[in-house]
Structure formats: C-alpha cells, structure tokens
Structure 1
C-alpha cells in the first residue's frame, strides 16, 4: 500500500489510531503482543514514519544547524562528513550555512536558523566573539568549534594548535633541520595565530630563528611562498605550513623547480587531510582526525539539546603523522646551491 498512514494500520489491525500511535512511539502502556501485532501490520503495509510528525510531539525539529566559515578543500569535506555520519546515526538532519569569512553572513545564518533547528554547531575561528557569538541566543543549545573566547558556559571543542605546531617543528628539528620557514595562515584567524605561536615557541626552545611567510590556507599561497624562497635562493632546509593545502602547494612548486623533497628540503603541514597520504612524497602532518572531530561536535550538541552537557571545553591534541616528506636532512645539497652553482654565489641570501 503506497503512503500507508497510521489510520490504515489502525483499520487493518482493528485498533484505534491512538493505540497505533502509542505503539509506534514506544509507550509502555501497550501490551507486548499487541505492539508486535501492530508492528507486523505496519511492516506489511510498508509504513514509513514521517520524520516531522515524529518530532512534533517532542517540540523538536530533528534538525541541527551547522555554520562553517568555508567549504573549500578537504578539511571541510571531512569535517562535514563526520558531522553528517553522526547525525544520521542519531536520526537527525543537518542544515548547513557558510559564512565565507563574513561575520554578517554568520549573524544572518544564526537568525535564519532560529526556530528551525534544535541546536547549532558553530565554527568561526576568523571572527571575534562580539561580531558573531554575541548574536547567538542564550536559549539555543550550541557547540562552538575553535571560536573566539567570549561565551562561557557553552560547550566547546578546541584543537590544541599550539601543541600540535610545536610537535611538528620539534620533529623537524629532531630530524636534523635547522633553518626553518613557517607559511602562516590568514592574520586574525585563531587557528593560524596559534599555529604560528606554537612554531615560534618550539624554535625558541631550540635556540633557532624562524622566518615567517604569509599565506591564506589555500594551495596557491603555499606555492607563492615557495616561489619567493626559490627566487631569493635562501638556504633553508625545512618548511612547516599552517595547513596541508599550503604545504602541498609549496611541495608542488619545489618539484617544478627540480628541488627534491625531502632530500633538499623537508615539508610538513597541519590537519592531516586524506590527500596527505596519497601524494608522493606523502606529507607529514599534525593529525586531529577531522571526521571524528566533526562527529564529536554533533555528539556534544545532542547532549546540550537534552540538557546533559556541562559546558566544558574539550581540547583535542594533534598527533604528528610522520611520512616521507620529512625524511633525514642531506648535508650535500641546500636550496641556495641548487640555483647558485658558483662558490661566490653559494652564500647569497643567507638564512637569518
């Protein structure tokens, strides 16, 4: 029977509509044998519960809102994959809105979702709390992912960017690298700022200097940073990029220039997107298990919606996944002498 309703089930099972409703919703005041009979009839008729109607009785929509800064790149596809998987397993649906780095779009998203979702996951590392989170209704359950401080009592998931970046740089130093460059993320972005600080801290502890080049988390900016180094002929032996896409962009630029990774320069990134394991050489990266991070956000939100979350901050410490791109340093080649072959030129652009 197409589009069978509970009235069809009630008629076929010779019971009232109210009895069918109680049985289908798991109420305890229905005899087990009668419940089994009703469920058997429902299965035979091909009855499919209507999600909206099911949630109506609980005054919930069964929908959760997700606000993210961007959709570009594998990081966000993995994050949303984890969120969607966890939501699906819990019988929930996701409504997503993208800020594109614009705080006003984020505020509009919060207003648009109010009354339509049971709770929100908000990821906004690039805007201040005053610009966005001040507009988040206090009665709206929410989980914040790497957002600016300023919402005490809200459930938060944070990546320990400082610890992760420090661990990557310490790995590079332990492998024999001494002349390091960091390709930074966009200024004002919490993740980028913390990863820069972690890299600087690790170099300071080792008594090493760190050159910083600008980036924006996208592959072309990594390639541009590498092009700058190649043009200057600076003698470096390692790059730590603030995310994997910039590291991959730099690696491709060096490959086109005939500069071997890791023989002449080691490269590492951050996030551990799936592509890091597929390229050659495979990329060393600080892993946060992105899909799991997204799933954890949804799990925390479900608790917040139920009133069971304590509003604590959950910190995820990245693990350095060592791969081919940070193999041992070679002492017979440097970046500078690839492009400056005469003895007089070999010291040009000395690292400082």
Structure 2
C-alpha cells in the first residue's frame, strides 16, 4: 500500500513517509507531531497514541531535516562557493570544515556555477532545501557577490573575502594592504612601474588591484592598464610570452601564484630569466610557491584561518549574539627569489609603451 493510500490520499506513487503524512493520518496538526518527536511541550496521551500508531503504520523514519524541524535546531552549515578546485577556495573550505567539526556542525558544499541569476538561485535553493543552521558565503568572485544579494533574509550567514561589506557579518583578509606592499617592494628595488596581471575580480576592482594602484599613485609612478586573464595558469603563460617582447615591462604583479608561475614559464619560453630580466611576484603563498624555480615572492593569505574565523563568527550569529567587529587579517609579503632590481637591458621607454599593454590581454 502506498503512503498516499495509507494516509488517505488517492495517489499510487511510492515515496518515503513524511511528518505531514503522519499528522494527516493521525488527525493532528504538523506542530503537534513536531512537539511529540522533539519532546517539547506536552502532548496528550490520546494524541501521542494516535501519532505513534500512524508512525508505525506508515513506517515513518525522521530525516535529518525533519529532526531539525522538530527540535528547532540544525547542525548543518552550507558553504556557497564558486570553483572549489582553486587553491584559495579549497583551503578556505578546509578551514570551515575543521572549525565546524570542532563545534559539532556538519558541512554541505554547494557550488555556484556562474553569476547568472538562474545559477545563483539554483545554488541557494539547493542549500535551502536542507534545514540549515547557517551559511558561509565565499565572496571571492562575481557568483559570490550576486549570491550575497539574493540570500533570503533571516538566515544566519557570514561572508568571507578580501573586501569589506557594510552591515554584513564577515571575516576578511587585507588584500589591499598586501597588494600595496608587494608593489612597493618592487618599486623599492628600482622598477619605474609595475604591471598587473589580474585574476577575475568579484566586482569592478578587488583589494589586491586597489593596493597595486594605490602604491603606484603614492610613488608618482605611471599606472599601466590592467591585464585581465582567467583563473587558468595557461593564460599567465600567454601573457609572459607577449610581455617578453616589451622591454618597458620590468616587473609584474600577478593576482595569484598560479598565474605568476604561468607568466614565468611564458617568459622562459622566450628566453628570458626571472628575476634577471623581469621580476614576477604572486599572491596567496601557494604550497608550490616555495619550491618553484625561482621561488616566488608573494603575499601569504591564511585561507584556513579565514575559514575558521568565519565559522566562529557564524556561531555567534546563530546563537543570537552580535558578531565581532570585522577585522582584516594581514597577508604578509614573503620575499623570495623571483623579485630583484631591474635589468639594465630592459626598461626602455617608448611612446607607445602603455598602449602596448592593452594588447597583452589573454
């Protein structure tokens, strides 16, 4: 006999019994079933007997979501993220999982496939299909920014990123300061300016680009056009090959370490050495940064700490406590082998030098 038939419905399709089926068969409200299962406010013995008979007849087994509904509590945290294969994303999620496990939460990961409204709404719907304790949003890219504006009100959440948002619980890394310090490091070595290979920004401009621009303006240096690429290291390699033929380019600040590795490989393809001919710096301090040849100068982002801090903030929000004031965690510059003084054979200015940079886009 189907659930519908046993519960008094006319359908023939088989499906697991739900709490609503129990309530319907027992002739009580859903909240009454919930109170009995959770051991909350008293339910009369007569109603308890009817509910138990309905449970036995239907073979009802409470799901995790149903138990959460009955108790008014959940131990599930949803992480909304873009491409989880990227080092920063994956390491942040690891930090979230570590902190969540320590607090007794389980974690579900939902990938936002793109910044299109339909894709964002689908990801949010997947997360909200569970009875959630709260949401951790990785706001590193356009999908994360769109999701921030489309999450339903009232759901406890925290955003993780390098850009502050007003009125939003968040854990932050100070990308702008790190970008400024990396650029200042190259200028202090004697480079007249620094070219910037940018990872896809979450908005018009992210922190590391803002820091790069700020350092150049403070120094009175020319601000070259930004070189936009994708997350793929191969696009960095393409840029490296192209700037090898541009003698005015002596220093390159890349938006992450994988792109920096790609740029270095592209320069090597054309017979140039780093840092002898061109200095290249990255961002993140990827595990390979220290063993790459040459070892990368970079900014160290502690993504695991970011994830753990985010869960701590979310736990306060879930408990109804005011979240701590958002504080930027530093991303210190790690100086290694890939940065050095400009080569005497490069840095030759031409009238079209800055215009040429527009053609570097991968």
- TM category, shorter: 0.7 to 0.9
Query: Could you tell me which residue of structure 2 aligns to residue 210 of structure 1?
Result: 223
Tell me how far apart the structure 1 counterparts of residues 163 and 121 of structure 2 sit (CA, whole Å).
15
Deviation at 1:147? 8.4
Length, aligned pairs only: 289
Provide, for residues 132-191 of structure 1, a one-character-per-residue CA deviation record: whole Å limited to 9, x for no partner.
333322221100123887762x3112332221111110011112222421112225x249
> Which of 85, 106, 113 is matched with 2:120 structurally?
106
Secondary structure at 2:142 match in 1: coil
Tell me how far apart the structure 2 counterparts of residues 320 and 264 of structure 1 sit (CA, whole Å).
22
- Please say if 1:139 is aligned against 2:138: no
Query: Could you tell me which residue of structure 2 aligns to residue 334 of structure 1?
Result: 346
Tell me how far apart the structure 2 counterparts of residues 246 and 192 of structure 1 sit (CA, whole Å).
18
Counterpart mapping for 1:172-187 below 5 A = 172-186=186-200
1:185–1:192 contact (8 Å) kept in structure 2 = no
Structure 2: tracts of 5 or more residues without a match? 1-62, 355-362
2:187–2:193 contact (8 Å) kept in structure 1 = no
Deviation at 1:214? 1.7
Structure 1: tracts of 5 or more residues without a match? 1-49, 337-346
2:198–2:209 contact (8 Å) kept in structure 1 = yes
Structure 2 vs 1, CA of residues 192 and 276 (structure 1 numbering), >3 Å: closer, same or farther? farther
1:74–1:274 contact (8 Å) kept in structure 2 = no
Query: Could you tell me which residue of structure 1 aligns to residue 142 of structure 2?
Result: 127
Secondary structure at 1:91 match in 2: coil
Secondary structure at 1:224 match in 2: helix
Provide, for residues 44-63 of structure 1, a one-character-per-residue CA deviation record: whole Å limited to 9, x for no partner.
xxxxxx99899787532211
Secondary structure at 1:299 match in 2: helix
Q: CA RMSD in A?
A: 3.0
Query: Could you tell me which residue of structure 2 aligns to residue 158 of structure 1?
Result: 172
1:186–1:192 contact (8 Å) kept in structure 2 = no
1:129–1:147 contact (8 Å) kept in structure 2 = no
Tell me how far apart the structure 2 counterparts of residues 195 and 186 of structure 1 sit (CA, whole Å).
12
> Which of 305, 326, 330 is matched with 1:317 structurally?
330
> Which of 259, 262, 265 is matched with 1:252 structurally?
265
> Which of 295, 299, 304 is matched with 2:308 structurally?
295
Query: Could you tell me which residue of structure 2 aligns to residue 66 of structure 1?
Result: 79
Q: TM-score, normalised by structure 1?
A: 0.73
> Which of 175, 181, 185 is matched with 1:167 structurally?
181
Deviation at 1:287? 1.5
- Please say if 1:96 is aligned against 2:109: yes
Q: More displaced, 127-136 or 248-257?
A: 127-136
- Please say if 1:273 is aligned against 2:303: no
Secondary structure at 1:239 match in 2: strand
Q: TM-score, normalised by structure 2?
A: 0.71
Tell me how far apart the structure 2 counterparts of residues 220 and 298 of structure 1 sit (CA, whole Å).
34
Tell me how far apart the structure 2 counterparts of residues 331 and 262 of structure 1 sit (CA, whole Å).
9
